[in-house]
Amino acid sequence: MEHLSKSTSQPLEHSQEMITGSEVLLRCLLKEGTECVFGYPGGNVLYIYDAMVGNPDFKHILTRHEQGAIHAADGYARSTGKVGVCIATSGPGATNLVTGIATAYMDSVPLVVITGNVPTTVMGTDAFQEADIICMTMPITKHSYLVRDVNELPRIIHDAFHLANTGRKGPVLIDIPKDVSNQTMLFQPSENISIRGYHAAPSPNQAAIDDLLQAIAESEKPVIIAGGGVVYSNASNELLEFVHRTNVPVTMTLLGLGGFPSGHQLSLGMLGMHGTYTANMAVQQADLIISIGSRFDDRITMNTAGFAPHAKRIAHIDIDPAEIGKNIGTDIACVGDIKAVLEYANTKAKRSRSDNWIQALKENKAKYPLHYMDSDTVLKPQFVVEMLSKTTDGEAIITTDVGQHQMWVAQFYKFKHPRSFISSGGLGTMGFGFPSAIGAQAGNPGRLVVSVNGDGGMQMCAQEMAVCAIHNIPVKIVVINNQVLGMVKQWQEIIYDNRFSHIDLKGSPDFVKLAEAYGITGLRASTTAEAARIWQKALETPGPVLVEFVVPKEENVYPMVLSGTNLDQMILGEFE
């Protein structure tokens, strides 16, 4: 039987004492400012969980699935700008984190992921619940550590937080064998950071920025593409000043929403596959493209050969040099932290020659707004999102799952602030929306958090309603229920000639009864009049509430640009 060596918790300043690796972990997490850890215990992390007993400073939320834990940590990180932390045991516990790690990696979200492993004495023997999580996650982590010596643990934790939240941010994994978590050491917090070969962010090249500013001053049809990097670098105010100085209109990527105010007169809305008519046409007609924190992914460029055909120059501002020229050829490369680049740019920026261009774009916005056919008999999902936007005045933190509802939120919710839109962009992870809202609410206890889900994705994470009920986490859970895998249905309808295959979600639970089973208030609306009344009741009800909005399955997301076609080849639906 393994011997448990555990000492009484002491204040952080009394650090010269013999303690276990598990207590070292908790103290180092607290030293890094960790407010809450999301996790799920198992055999090979039991020493760590035992160290939590009697430690009033350490807050842990038990989710109902490891994937719920890492998505909650992700939502916490995106909404606060701090590092999210989650813990799981070895084997299936660790592998259940893989989707969440990939989600965070694709979207550059800072996480420290802690997994247990079998004791070092049996590693490599296919021991019970042994899995090589380091090798499995190597392509989807910024860095990984296997801790073989407890004396290395303080430095590793300190370095992991630094790596996760500097440069191009991302998830860092720390794998701790069970015997290491019980080894003792004379605790001394690590103070110095020395990571060989790691440079968080290069200093901006002022000559390249000067070149960009000159190109803007000469441009008649410039467009800024604002991506998630604007949000992650906390550069929203600098971007707003930059736009005011240069008079350049802005279109946002999905993850860039909130980085520039949706209601601003120079906002063109989102671009790409389901972008606005004005944004897509502006990119195709522009003479200068300025990507700020966007990686030119395929959902915004569509057919790269036909992307921005009239652009004389394309500029790219990004902290990661690997993104420059990766997807779209770049004429002006400004590598560096976006906030630092824009701070320098704002000292010398001049106005573009864009007055006629701005007027033309305003006319386009008036002529081709986002549309949908409203109804007196059925509840339209676009109406629901507009209602959410108006009743919250754009001040809520909105998390979404993945699918049609995600695109309707991107189109019809008017975001005012950065870190107010939380969604899985690069990986498109169903099941992300609701757990990420739990994390966002934990990190922002004074904010209204609304989680918008489809009936498909909600069933991948519904068990986390127990967490909201137990801890009275006041997330307002919206389920847009059309009884079908909506986005898959839309593709099968438009691209596969109405050959519908395995998309019917009939037989899903009664979401109101399911919420009530977990101890959460459940409400339902299926008409416009009901929707307004029921939603107001949800806002006035303390604690978590689930609201199911029953909508028709025939509704599609428009505009839509088919894969392989150009941005300006939009399907406009009923308004063709």
Domains of the chain and CATH, by start: 18-186 (3.40.50.970), 206-367 (3.40.50.1220), 381-557 (3.40.50.970)
- pLDDT of 199: 83
pLDDT at 191: 78
Q: What pLDDT is stored for residue 17 in this prediction?
A: 86
What is the average pLDDT across 508-532? Answer: 97
Peptide bond just before 559 cis, omega within 30 deg: yes
525: its two tokens: 């609306």
**pLDDT at site 6:** 38
The answer to whether the CB of 261 falls within 8 A of the CB of 416 is yes
What is the C-alpha radius of gyration for the chain, rounded to an integer number of angstroms?
25
CA atoms of 244 and 18, how far apart (whole Å) = 58
Q: For residues 33 and 158, is the Cβ–Cβ distance under 8 A?
A: no
Q: pLDDT for 318-349, tens place per residue?
A: 999 999 999 999 999 999 999 999 999 999 99
**Cβ count within 10 A of residue 350:** 12
Token code pair at residue 486 = 């909506």
Q: Decide: helix, strand or coil at residue 146.
A: strand
What does the pLDDT average to over 102-106? 98
> Could you tell me if 182 and 20 are in contact, meaning their C-beta atoms sit under 8 angstroms apart?
yes
Q: Which residues contact 483 (CB under 8 A, 6 or more apart)?
A: 455, 504, 505, 506, 508, 553
Q: In 281-330, which ranges are E strands?
A: 288-292, 313-318
Predicted pLDDT at 15: 47
Mean pLDDT for the stretch of residues 506-523: 97
8 pLDDT tier (thresholds 50, 70, 90): very low
Q: Residue 11 above 60 pLDDT?
A: no
Q: What is the mean pLDDT of residues 173-184?
A: 98
**Which pTM was predicted?**
0.95
Judged by DSSP in three states, 137 sits in helix
State what percent of residues in the chain have pLDDT above 90.
Answer: 93
CA distance 275 to 284: 13
Distance of alpha carbon 374 from the chain centroid: 31
Q: Write down the pLDDT at residue 575.
A: 63
Which residues contact residue 85 at a Cβ distance below 8 angstroms, ignoring those fewer than 6 apart?
29, 34, 36, 37, 38, 73, 111, 112, 113, 114
Q: DSSP letter at 140?
A: G
Across the range 473-501, mean pLDDT stands at 97
Whether the predicted pLDDT of 163 surpasses 90: yes
Residues contacting 177, CB < 8 A, separation 6+: 44, 116, 117, 118, 119, 120, 123, 146, 147, 148
Q: What is the pLDDT of residue 576?
A: 56
CB distance 146 to 118 below 8 Å: no
- What pLDDT does 393 receive? 96
How far lies 317's CA from each of 163, 293, 328, in Å?
21, 6, 13
Read off the tokens for 418: 């950065």
* Of 203, 465, 223, the residue nearest 341 (C-alpha): 203
pLDDT at 14: 46
Q: Is the pLDDT of residue 1 over 70?
A: no
pLDDT (tens digit, 9 = 90+) per residue, 370-428?
999 989 899 999 999 999 999 999 999 999 999 999 999 999 999 999 999 999 999 99
How many whole angstroms separate alpha carbon 407 and alpha carbon 573? 15
Angle 362-363-364 from CA coordinates, rounded to 5°: 90
The edge-to-edge listing of strands for the beta sheet with 37-40 is: 60-62, 37-40, 84-88, 111-117, 171-177, 143-146
C-alpha–C-alpha distance, residues 128 and 137, integer Å: 20
Q: What pLDDT, in 10s, does the model give residues 227-255?
A: 999 999 999 999 999 999 999 999 999 99
pLDDT averaged over the chain? 95
Under DSSP, the state recorded for 64 is: S
Alpha helices per DSSP H over 507-556: 511-517, 528-540
* Residue closest to 337 by CA, chosen among 492, 236, 494, 204: 204
Q: Give the separation between CA 396 and CA 450, rounded to whole angstroms.
A: 7
User: What local confidence, expressed as pLDDT, does residue 195 receive?
Assistant: 86
Residue 539: count of CB within 10 angstroms of its CB = 16
Mean pLDDT over 359-375 rounds to 94
Identify any residues that bridge with 292 across adjacent strands, giving them in sequence order: 226, 317
Active-site positions read 66, 128-129, 178, 487
pLDDT at 305: 97
Give SS3 for 175.
strand
Residues 429, 521: Cα–Cα separation, whole Å: 27
Q: Which of 441, 516, 500 minimizes the C-alpha distance to 476?
A: 441
Q: In whole angstroms, what separates CA 97 from the centre of its chain?
A: 16
